[in-house]
Amino acid sequence: MNMSQRVRIKSFLPRPRFKVYTKLSKQEFIDLIKQQLEENNNEFGGYANQEIAMIRLRKDKEKYWHPQLQIRIEEDEDQEKFLVVRGIIGPKPTIWTFFAFLYGLSGAILLTLGSYALSEYIVKGESMWIWAVPFSILLALGTYLASFYGRHLAKFQLGRLYHFVNSCYRKAKFYESQDN
């Protein structure tokens, strides 16, 4: 395991993530997160328990597009002296579910109405349902563009969550994972 200056976060993904190791115990790591939350209580809110920690902007500063940081805390099965810390930064679950619903809806429209339109076109030579194909593609494209626009709006908050992770990193002495 290599020690590096900052936690490398895979930011190309729709929900940036990281995986690091620390020699702290679970309770020490939870206490560290709670301490970081107390030190930054004018900006962040959240909680930490034995399994996960959730860090987000304070309710009074939060907008629906702002991201949140979810940290999963696990003991490493291969090396008992290390604690595995996995983090995902992304939109609130309701927003994430809404976007997944829109992607699913566009796929369902494309498959069902698109198949019906193609069948009808082959049999009759025309179909009024052919509009479903461009509509579903536009719905998927619109959802994709809206997610990137939301990510653009939340760029500052994303940077603040990166800063929170890296300030925890400096205190916990994280080690990068080899398979990251």
Q: Do 85 and 34 fall into the same domain?
A: yes
Q: Are residues 38 and 120 in the same domain?
A: no
Q: Does 7 map to a domain?
A: no
Domain identity same for 30 and 64:
yes
Q: What is the mean pLDDT of each run of 10 residues along the chain (180 residues)?
A: 52 72 86 89 87 83 77 82 85 87 96 94 91 95 89 82 82 60
User: What secondary structure, in 3-state letters, does 45-100 show?
Assistant: EEEECCCEEEEEECCCCCCCCCCEEEEEEEECCCCCCCEEEEEEEECCHHHHHHHH
Q: Among 93, 50, 88, 46, which Cα is nearest to 71's?
A: 88
pLDDT of the residue at 8: 61
pLDDT of residue 3: 44
Q: What is the largest CA-CA distance in the chain?
A: 70
Do 49 and 129 fall into the same domain? no
How many domains is the chain partitioned into structurally? 2
* Dist CA 33 CA 90 (whole Å): 18
What φ, ψ does residue 69 adopt, rounded to 5°? -110, 120
Strands 68-75 and 44-48: unpaired
Position 167 in a domain:
yes
pLDDT of residue 83: 85
Please tell me whether residues 25 and 111 are part of one structural domain: no
Domain of residue 30 covers: 17-91+154-176
pLDDT at 91: 84
In a domain, 102, yes or no: yes
Q: Report the pLDDT value the prediction gives residue 140, as an integer from 0 to 100.
A: 96
On whether residue 1 sits in a domain, the answer given is no
The structure tokens listed for 131 are 């509009």
39 found inside a domain: yes
First to last CA, the chain: 11
Which residues have a Cβ under 8 Å from the Cβ of 118 and sit 6 or more positions away?
127
